[in-house]
A and B are shown apart, each in its own frame.
Chain A
Amino acid sequence: MDKKSYYSETYMPGIIRWGKATMLLGIITMFLPPLVFSAVFGYWPPISAILTGTLAQISVSGAFYVVEPISYFPILGIPGTYMTFLSGNTSNMRLPCSSVAQEAAGVEFGSRQGTIISTIGIGVSVIVNIIILTIGAIGSNVILGILPESVTSALNFLLPALFGAVFGQFAVSRPKLAVVSIVIVFAANWLSKNGYLNFLGGFAGSVVILIAVFGSIFAGSLIYKKELADDTEEQVK
């Protein structure tokens, strides 16, 4: 069996089969805590209250159910999408670990090698996260006491620095695209924050993500037209 067929005929179908099975299993087991609480302790909230609360949540998150998986798919690929949307923490762990792992291994982003390395990187981050949270959940009271105030307040700035660092990693290779994408994103956010997108109602936030991601991809295809043109010739051959 040659390399290409192992990846596309053994690896990917296996990932998809297990991906679907674990997502389904995840959906079922996720309901164990509320089921156990209601059934064992006898607190069944009225269905109408659950529905009211859920509908309120859907009005906030509804568009993101579709927009987030589609927007991050070009980065995460099939295995990464299954893992990310089962384990959460997309922007603060899964995406950074996917790109950091590919950078460290020196593989081409989004290639077959890149996808495999990215999957390993994301898997490792899921396990690290669970280990740390497990320790934390069991010892939450103790930990609160140990961490000095200065540390907890400094941690407020970890995510901003993380977002900047991930951006920087890609800006090094594609500085022109980085500048253009800042312009696109800030224009979209400025419009949204100053009320010019209010006509979109609850969809304004997800439209901004779509503009940010797909606008930058489109800008990339224009900026690197020459690079791409060479490729088209190769394909014609």
Chain B
Amino acid sequence: MNVNYLELANHPIMWLAAAIAISVVILQSVIFIRKSLAAAAEEGITNKQIKMAVKSSVIASIGPAIVILVTMISLIISMGAPVSWMRLSFIGSVNYEAMAAGFGAQAMGTTLDNLDPMAFSCGVWVMCCGSLGWLVFTLLFTDKMEKVNHLLSRGRQKMVPIISAGAMLGAFANLSSGNFFNAEGGFDLLGAPAIATICGCILMMILTKLARTKNIGWLREWAFAIAMFSGMIIGSVWNSMV
């Protein structure tokens, strides 16, 4: 009865099942990139612009991907490598996955650090069922959401960049806001996460301004990574001081 569920969870056939699912994500990206390259030629986008876009996206992806990797390892400890690998390449984020797996385990009367094969299985089912909402909603409604933009811009071309700036500023102010509150719901501007956020923001402002006004190509590509890693280092140094 005492089966080690992790041996089953890490079985080659589980790797295969996860790989098939992940290949769909890769397939979609490859198709979309190829279509975009064809459209880029039609729209008069130069090869140089495409190269800069690709390069800057690679540079910007590496840091966050390493963070995802580190958090994935914490998920691997309870859910095994193949499932964690699939879920974080799919619609996942570690918070969601750990929560969903936890709910699944709970429904079987146990917890994530005390799994048996049946509770593990239930956890994986819940992870997948719980994320269906996002996938089904975007499957059905993405092509109809253009109406949201039309509603917001009322057909005014100049409103488009204002909409994206407003949406980005609002979304990222909101994502950052948690770093500026303490547990009691008061403001805390001097915590290490707050310092990292502020430094990342100010450095990005300076570097972006510099890259734009002096038209420095390499800085356009690197500004984000420099701001992100400097903010991280300053935040962690601050953390070790206080």
Contacts and interface: CB of A to CB of B under 8 A. Distances in A.
Contacts of B29: 83, 87, 122-123, 126-127
Interface residues of A, number: 166
Contacts of A200: none
Contacts of B103: 52-54, 56-57
A78 B159 contact: no
Interface string B86-127: 101111110010011001101110000000011111111110
Interface in B25-80: 25-33, 35-40, 42-45, 49-50, 52-70, 72-73, 76
B14 A78 contact: no
Contacts of A169: 204-205, 208, 223-224
A235 B154 CA distance: 12
Contacts, number: 609
Interface string A111-122: 111001101111
B214 interface: no
Nearest to A48: B107
B79 to A, nearest CB: 10
Interface size class of B (residues with CB under 8 A): 35 or more
B201 A165 contact: yes
B174 A212 contact: yes
| A interface SS class | helix
Contacts of B58: 124-125, 128
Contacts of A215: 170
B236 A97 contact: no
A185 B173 contact: yes
B45 A116 contact: yes
Contacts of A20: 139, 143
Contacts of B199: 161, 164
Given A97-B60, A160-B176, A168-B208, A138 B81 contact: yes
B138 A82 contact: yes
B224 to A, nearest CB: 5
Interface string A39-61: 01101110001101110111011
Interface string B165-195: 1111111111111111100010100001110
A186 B170 CA distance: 10
Nearest to B220: A104
Interface in A1-44: 3, 6-7, 10-11, 14-16, 18-20, 22-27, 29-38, 40-41, 43-44
B36 A43 contact: no
Contact of A37 (B14, B44, B143, B180): B14
B12 to A, nearest CB: 11
A194 B141 CA distance: 35
Interface string B190-223: 0011101111111111001100100000001101
B135 interface: yes
11 contacts: A34-B124, A61-B133, A75-B164, A83-B29, A96-B60, A108-B161, A120-B54, A167-B201, A170-B165, A228-B158, A235-B156
